[in-house]
Amino acid sequence: MEVKWDQDVCSHAGVCVNSLPNVFKVEDGKFVIDSSAASEAEILETVAKCPSGALTVQN
């Protein structure tokens, strides 16, 4: 599973970072997504909660 982030759409609400901080994090000023750090179900649930729709999943 590949998770994509659209920085132009992101409202920076922090839902993803607060929900799964091991997957969605900021490192050295860059947004990083480590989809191996949680289950597919957990990631899909968090992506669905994204208020701006900036996160999408591709299989």
Which domains are present in the chain?
Answer: 2-58 (3.30.70.20)
Residue 26 clears pLDDT 80, i.e. is over it: yes
Q: How far apart are CA 48 and CA 32, in angstroms?
A: 18
Encode 29-44: b = buried (16+ Cβ within 10 Å), e = exposed.
eeeebeeeebeeeebe
**Whole-prediction pTM value?**
0.90
Residue 59 clears pLDDT 80, i.e. is over it: no
pLDDT band at 49 (very low <50, low <70, confident <90, very high): very high
Q: How far apart are CA 38 and CA 57, in angstroms?
A: 14
Rounded to 5 degrees, what are φ and ψ at 56? Answer: -135, 160
